[in-house]
Amino acid sequence: EELIAHMAVEHRIVNNDGQPFRVFGVADLCVAEPFQHRRLASRLLSELSLLGLQHRIDFLMLMAKDHGFYKSHGFELVANTCRWLMITEHCMLGIAHRRVQSSLMVKPLGKKEWREGLVDFLGHVF
C-alpha cells in the first residue's frame, strides 16, 4: 500500500471578533509528487466542504503561502490580527498576538460573515 495524498484537519471553535465559529482547520494538505495534477487535493477539499456542510461547520480555515489554488476552491485571504497558544517540544511558550501576513485563508460554508477583528484560535495554530 502507498499513501498518495493526505489532509490533516482539526475541528475547533475559534473566536472571530467576538463571534464563536465552528471551523475545520486544515493543518496539512499534500499529494505525493507522482500523483500531483490529478485533482486529488481538489477532491479532498471538496469532500471536506461537504462534510462541513453536513455538520454545520461555519468556515474552513488554513494558512497558505500559495493562494491561487485555494482561491480557486472558494477560500479568501484575510488579514486579521490573531491570537494563539505557542507550543514547541511539549512546552507552552506563551500566547502570540500578531497579524499573520498574507497566509490566513477562510472559506465560508454558510451564511455567517467573517469579520476583520481579532481571531482567537483558542489554542494552537492548525
The per-residue pLDDT for range 14-33, each reduced to its tens digit, is 999 999 999 999 999 999 99
What integer is the mean pLDDT of 73-86? 97
Question: pTM, whole model, 2 decimals?
Answer: 0.92
- Choices 3.20.20.70, 3.40.630.30, 3.50.50.60, 3.30.70.270: CATH for 5-120: 3.40.630.30
Banded model confidence at residue 85, pLDDT cuts 50, 70, 90: very high
Q: State whether residue 86 is helix, strand or coil.
A: strand
- Cα distance between residue 26 and residue 60, in whole Å: 7
Q: pLDDT at residue 100 above 90?
A: no
**Are 62 and 24 contacting, i.e. CB atoms less than 8 angstroms apart?**
no
Q: Domain spans of the chain?
A: 5-120
Distance CA 35, CA 16 (A): 37
Residue appearing with cell numbers 486544515: 26
